[in-house]
Amino acid sequence: MLNLEYVVSAIGMAGPINNAFMKNEYYKSDIVPALCEVVDILKDSVHESSTNTDPSVAVLFNAYTEKKFPGHLHDYQNFHMDKVYADSGGLQMVTTGKAVTDEIKDVIYGVQSYADYAMCFDDIPLESVALVRTRNERSNVGNKVFNQDRFDETAIATGLNIKRQVEYFQEHGATTKVIIIVQGNTAEDMVHWYRKVEEQLTPAHFDNIGGIAVADTCMGNKELETIEMLTAAHEIAKFCNSSSKKQLHLLGVGSLPRMAPVLYLQKAGFLSDYEKISYDSSSHTVCFNYGLMKLNGTCKSLGTYRNFKLEQVMRDIYNTFKPAFEKYGSYDWMMNEVFFAEDETWTFSKTVQRAVESKDKDKIVTAALIGFAYSMYQVKNFIQCLDTVAGGEFIGARGEMNIAAIQQLRNVKTMEDMTKWMNMFKGYVSSARIARKEQSFGLEKFFG
């Protein structure tokens, strides 16, 4: 069975890691065990229900924007997650105009040394064509252009970053494994990028390499782009150092339609060189902040005020994690005394404030549980949906031809099969490609 790891972004997990909770007298005695129990229930549930995958759950924090997170994770016993990942925060530095110096990188490596896996600093050959940045900046492909002229330069710079990152970990006795981020605007770009990166490293460096991450940052963010990223991974596996095949990570890919190609190609054997496949997403852990719920591939608003739809979802969340909740109160008590304000609105920050001000242990622990369980409920649903998809059923509305074309990936075992698939089906698959400047050097084309 496929070893499939959901790397849960810590961005939306800031609720339980809240000064109001961490300074509370019930913090270590009750809050920490309660949240860890939620993760234990989640893991037991997905293991019991999965027949096509062997799921695990990890947590990802940003070593730049969440520098204190390792200490919090230690206090929270890593939430009982299976592994800990650390992003570099390089993208956040660049987008906020922060200079990424060697000194700052070393500080970040020190923070990352807490984690099992650390993402590298990748120098990205993109140019922005927009003057104003939006909240969905990362997913907006229309405001960027891929600069081919900087491709070799940035690939080499990334390789040198990885070299220093590995040496830092080795010098400080850290067991952290670096994940090599692979960029490119096409599959052949990605293969070329990886070659340039590996040229900067010696066999000794690969002692601290834990796999590769194919990124959509320079490519685009629909199914066709995902398939090209996986094609690159297939080709890289033919020649890369064996350490790079320990894990294939899908960077920022957290939708069912985009994960379907991963599952089908792995089941077909196209990705069988990789020991584990992992993916990360922030979508499920930020939904609470926006009053949204993402289930079965769709995202819906639950409204601002008390309503039947919201009550149904919250009852299911309570029942899913009932062993953790019921120690502190019933469902009706939770909704009436903790969840809703007097005007029957629901806002997590106000829920926390009211609970802490009450000095009531049951309300305080329940307030911590609500936001966390809300996120983990969606994570559980997503993992179970992926297991269903891995069994052959497509979940996610993209159109009948799109679904039929992607399902044909179950027959793609070799590069020759992939070439045939591209010739027959790529026109039917959703695509959102980042624009490309004129290329300055020739690369062998996989698809003609």
DSSP codes, 233-253: HHHHTTTS-GGGGS-EEEET-
Question: Largest Cα–Cα distance in the chain?
Answer: 68
Could you tell me the CA-to-CA distances from 174 to 4, 117, 118, 169 in Å, in that order?
25, 11, 11, 5
Whether the predicted pLDDT of 260 surpasses 80: yes
The pTM assigned to this predicted structure is: 0.91
The token duo for 387 is 């297991």
Whether the predicted pLDDT of 4 surpasses 50: yes
Q: How do residues 266-301 score in pLDDT, each as one tens digit?
A: 999 999 999 999 999 888 888 888 899 999 988 999
Q: How do residues 13-35 score in pLDDT, each as one tens digit?
A: 656 567 788 888 998 999 999 99
**Residue 80 or 76, more confident:** 80
Q: Are 314 and 335 in contact (CB under 8 A)?
A: yes
State how far the Cα of 210 lies from the Cα of 1, in Å rounded to an integer: 20
Q: What single-letter DSSP state applies at residue 112?
A: H
**Out of 50-64, 116-130, 185-199, 290-304, which region has the weakest mean confidence (pLDDT)?**
116-130
Whether the predicted pLDDT of 136 surpasses 70: no
**Residue 436 or 415, more confident:** 415
The token duo for 36 is 């860890």
Q: How do residues 148-166 score in pLDDT, each as one tens digit?
A: 999 999 999 999 999 999 9
Q: Are 430 and 222 in contact (CB under 8 A)?
A: yes
Q: Which residue bears the tokens 């220093």?
A: 164
pLDDT band at 448 (very low <50, low <70, confident <90, very high): very low
Q: How do residues 349-372 score in pLDDT, each as one tens digit?
A: 889 999 999 999 999 999 999 999
Q: How far is CA 385 from the centre of its chain?
A: 16
State how far the Cα of 151 lies from the Cα of 258, in Å rounded to an integer: 26
Looking at every residue in the chain, the average pLDDT score rounds to 90
Q: How do residues 371-391 score in pLDDT, each as one tens digit?
A: 999 999 999 999 999 999 999
Q: How do residues 421-430 score in pLDDT, each as one tens digit?
A: 999 999 999 9
Q: In this predicted structure, what is the pLDDT of residue 132?
A: 41
Q: In this predicted structure, what is the pLDDT of residue 445?
A: 43
Domain 2-18+53-289: give its CATH architecture. Answer: Alpha-Beta Barrel (3.20)
Whether the predicted pLDDT of 225 surpasses 90: yes
State how far the Cα of 380 lies from the Cα of 264, in Å rounded to an integer: 21
What DSSP assignment string belongs to 52-92? SEEEEEEEEEETTTTTTHHHHHHHTGGGG-SEEEEE--HHH
Q: In this predicted structure, what is the pLDDT of residue 441?
A: 41
Q: Which residue bears the tokens 């959509």?
A: 216
Q: Which residue bears the tokens 């037991």?
A: 44
Q: Three-state DSSP class for 326? A: coil
Q: In this predicted structure, what is the pLDDT of residue 443?
A: 42
User: What is the rounded end-to-end Cα distance, in angstroms, of the chain?
Assistant: 34
Whether the predicted pLDDT of 446 surpasses 70: no
Q: Are 248 and 278 in contact (CB under 8 A)?
A: yes
Average pLDDT over residues 39-67: 94
Average pLDDT over residues 229-236: 98
